[in-house]
Amino acid sequence: MKTSLEHLPDYHQERIRRIAAEIAEKVAGCEMVILYGSYARGNYVEYDERIEFGIHTTFQSDYDFLIVMGPGSDMRYVDRKISQLEERYERVQARTIAPVQIIAEKMIHFNHYLCDARFFYKDIAKEGILLYDSGRFQLPKRIRMKRSRFREMAQEYYDEWMDRADGFYEMMKLMYQQNRYVLGSFPLHQMTEKLYQTVLLVFTLDKKKCHDLGKLRNQTKKHARSLLAAFPLNTKEEERLFDLLRRAYVESRYNPEFVVTREELDALIPCVLRLKEIVAKVCTEKIASIVED
């Protein structure tokens, strides 16, 4: 695996190395820190604005890090530490500083995915840049997965998870018809979550156990920037409504003071249906692009 950041400007090299060192220091049990994605490849976007699907969107590439954890690691602890680090980086982020996204895998799982030739992890091993290595473990040689098998699995995931999304949409409509808008916000959240997870499964054959729509939105945008158009977040009202939907996963069930109005659902439903339309387009195009070996 590569170890050099020389293809990046000095200010990016400095920030990336500083973040990697902090991750290795703060997350107990960390065995490797790998930079992957656009900054590892060199095709990152500093900042971009455009109109997509008639919606004004902005985009900025993330610093993407994979933490490889030791076999005895408590991944609940790791997830908490990652959330703390990401939240702190978000608070200090300015336009000139890339957002930070961190994922983690146990070494045994990462090795399994490499041996299974999962494209997402295979690309990390091929294009990623190793910034910290404890030296206690080695990555295995990769075995090539046939593209026909990848396409088959991607299609199976697409059919299954889009069906799940449709099922939650039917639940939401039932709650809406009964004027139970708070309860209706939960299946609408679940529909949105399943749509984002469909993208991850089709593009990588893998997904994380995550219910936070903000994190899922960030995780999927690297696969298809057009997904941002469903929830552009360019205004305070767009941010408020998306946050309302994000919070619905927990608060619609457990917070008696959580309120969702009919007008708010009426504003959110078209966004989720737009997301479904975009997910269907990008996923079917991805599946069609996987040619035979």
Pairing of strands 30-36, 129-133: antiparallel
Contacts of 32 (CB under 8 A, 6+ apart): 66, 67, 68, 107, 130, 132, 133, 134, 137
CA 292: distance to chain centroid? 27
Backbone angles phi, psi at 89, to 5 degrees: -65, -35
Model pLDDT for residues 222-234, shown as the tens digit of each residue: 899 999 999 999 9
CA separation (Å) from 96 to 9, 10, 12, 47, 258?
13, 14, 10, 8, 36
Write out the CATH class of domain 10-133: alpha beta
Fold that domain 147-289 belongs to in CATH: Four Helix Bundle (Hemerythrin (Met), subunit A) (1.20.120)
- The predicted pLDDT at position 96 comes to 46
Give the CA dihedral 253, 258, 259, 265, nearest 10 degrees. Answer: -50
Split at pLDDT 50, 70, 90, the class of 55 is: low
Q: How confident is the model at residue 106 (pLDDT cuts 50, 70, 90)?
A: very high
Which tokens hold the place of 290? 């996987």
175-229 tens-digit pLDDT: 999 999 999 999 999 999 999 999 999 998 887 778 999 999 999 998 999 999 9
Q: Specify which of 47-56, 216-225, 236-245 reaches the highest per-range mean pLDDT.
A: 236-245
Is 86:100 a contact under the CB 8 Å cutoff? yes
Task: State the DSSP H helix or E strand holding residue 31, giving kind and residue range, or none if neither.
Answer: strand 30-36
Query: Any idea how long the chain is?
Result: 293
pLDDT bin (cut points 50, 70, 90) of residue 45 is confident
Position 95 confidence tier, pLDDT thresholds 50, 70, 90? very low
Whether the pLDDT of residue 72 is over 80: the answer is yes
Q: Which residues contact 148 (CB under 8 A, 6 or more apart)?
A: 292, 293
Burial status of residue 87 (CB atoms within 10 A of its CB: 0-12, 13-18, 19 or more) = exposed
The proportion of the chain whose per-residue pLDDT surpasses 90, expressed as a percent, equals 72
Predicted confidence (pLDDT) per residue in 126-166, tens digit:
899 999 999 999 887 656 667 888 899 899 999 999 999 99
| pLDDT of res. 51 | 67
Q: Where are the alpha helices (DSSP H) in 134-261?
A: 147-177, 181-204, 213-221, 236-254
Q: What is the pLDDT of residue 14?
A: 94
Would you state the pLDDT for residue 5? Answer: 96
Domain ranges of the chain: 10-133, 147-289
Q: Which helix (H) or strand (E) holds 66?
A: strand 63-69
Is 129 in contact with 5 (CB distance < 8 Å)?
A: yes
Q: Helix or strand or coil: residue 211?
A: coil
